[in-house]
Amino acid sequence: MKRLLKTTAVIGLLAFDVLGSGTGQAQESLTVVSFGGAYQDSQRKAFFKPFNKDTGVVIKEVEWSGEVAKIRAMVETGNVEWDVIDMEQAEFSLLCEEGLLEEIDWGALGGKDRFFEIAVSPCGVGAMFWGTIWAYDKDVVKNPPKNWVEFWDVKKFPGPRALRRHPKSTLEFALMADGVPTGQVYVVLRTKEGIDRAFRKLDEIKPHVKVWWTAGAQPPRLLTDGEVRYTTAYNGRIYYPIVKEGKNFEMMWDQHLAELDYWAIPKGSPKKDLAMKFLAFATRPERQGDQTNYINYSPTAKDATPHINPSVLPYLPTAPENFKNALVVDSKFWIENLQLLTEKFEAWLAK
């Protein structure tokens, strides 16, 4: 989702401390981990700074690229340095199943009924809905593709492409480009024949993929620099330059990949109580609503909707027109297949 400002997938060092009142005294702190860029900037404005102002707690920010091995190592060695982590759905579900995350006190969050059902888990709470779409610059492209089949049609729609260097989303898009309806994608992908079919479809477009991006900040830069004609992207990373920089980018929502990020607390965090206090704050309806002023990801709390600026609603992944033909990520599939398909994808890419 989204992701790092850096163009390589690395663990970021502490990037930003939200300073307190300037008393010169040591203050309580909480280490919160997220994905950098415009997304983390939105969290800083909607959650981190207001939480600091409300409680005096200093938020120490860390950027990461989603590798679960880092969390496994912390928990298994008992050296848990991170207190709250924003993570994608598949990685979150995997760590939850492995028992590496703390249980959520839903009473402290106002109860499960406040949230959309998919945002409720024993060991995490939905942070926001987001989508992987594809985008282009309307100043450059006058006759764009309309769907994944056409995205793959490099003769009718020439120009270099960029795709995410990850099997999740890339394999789903390949199957839809091969004509598989959204409702059948994971049925097909659960078979060996379906996986082979997806990679054969990727074979077709591979020579035309100029950049396999690894960080969410890359796609808008690729469009701005004219390095590629079309790119997959996290929707919030394209929206930000549209509204903040006046870019003439267009997001294509048809058959986009919809999923959630979750807030979670690693097992053994010495600051679990404070972490729960932060989660209660970050899931307040007015806080979730405020985040949409800075990035177009959708709240997970039902009572946040009245706090969303009406002008932003059409740009959200869960807007009816945007969501009607979305493919919701099957996290169970990716729990079962993430490691195997990542290895297969990297081997295919290296050919």
Which tokens go with 47?
A: 């959650």
Specify the pLDDT at position 26. Answer: 63
Residue 12 sits at the vertex; the CA angle it makes with 7 and 13, to the nearest 5 degrees, is: 145
Question: How many CB atoms sit inside 10 A of residue 349's CB?
Answer: 14
User: Are the C-beta atoms of residues 108 and 204 closer than 8 Å to each other?
Assistant: no
pLDDT at position 65 is 85
Domain residue extents for the chain: 16-130+259-323, 131-258+329-350
131-258+329-350: same fold as 16-130+259-323?
Answer: yes
Per the structure block, which two tokens stand in for 142?
């006058």
Q: Where do we find the tokens 């970021």?
A: 12
pLDDT band at 10 (very low <50, low <70, confident <90, very high): very low
Average pLDDT of the residues in 16-44 = 76
pLDDT digits (tens, 9 = 90+) for 85-134: 999 988 899 899 999 999 999 999 999 999 999 899 999 999 999 999 99
Can you tell me which residue has the tokens 């598989």?
Answer: 180
CATH of 16-130+259-323, one of 3.40.50.920, 3.30.70.360, 3.40.50.300, 3.40.190.10: 3.40.190.10
Residue whose pair of structure tokens reads 């009142």 in the numeric block = 21
Q: Cα separation of 140 and 260, whole Å?
A: 32
- Alpha-carbon span 283 to 311, nearest angstrom: 22
- Cα 134 from Cα 251, distance rounded (Å): 6
Query: Which residue type sits at 340?
Result: L
- Beta pairing partners, 260: 129
**For residue 166, pLDDT beyond 70:** yes
Q: Is the pLDDT of residue 186 over 60?
A: yes
Give the mean model confidence (pLDDT) for residues 315-324.
88
> Among 88, 169, 91, 90, which Cα is nearest to 134's?
169
State whether CATH 3.40.190.10 applies to domain 131-258+329-350: yes
